[in-house]
Amino acid sequence: MKLILPVSLLALVWGTTSGCISTDRTYYRDAERIKVSFENDAAGRMFYEALSKPAGANRRSESKTQISIPIILDHKERTVDGDNILFNDAVRRCDSNGDGKITELEARIYSETVAK
């Protein structure tokens, strides 16, 4: 009798799912955009073209956490950075003197670094 009860409970739990408690969450993290101006239209165009290149788009950050205890617990969390975080990072990298105004030279340098 002592052996039948634990085996029955194990069979019951095993037959239900891979985890009795299962969570899967995705968090999107974003920020307010940094205010920035451009010296001229050419500077703005170069900056936005570099930002939209695949090398710039691949800077998206994502972190994953997974905790599993077989049969009992399965917990997954994922955090994804939003577009404003990517934009702010690009502005900080491009605006080398930090004055909030991107010059044509700064935009050209940023564009060349993204192309590499």
Q: Write down the pTM of the prediction.
A: 0.62
Q: If DSSP codes are grouped into helix, strand and coil, which group holds residue 14?
A: helix
Show the tokens assigned to 86: 């990517």
Annotated domain spans of the chain: 19-115
Tens digits of residue pLDDT in 57-113: 455 666 777 777 777 778 888 888 888 998 999 999 999 999 999 999 999 999 999
pLDDT at 19 over 80: no
Cα dist from 82 to 45, 70, 79, 85, whole Å: 22, 33, 10, 6
Cα dist from 74 to 2, 57, 66, 77, whole Å: 29, 31, 8, 10
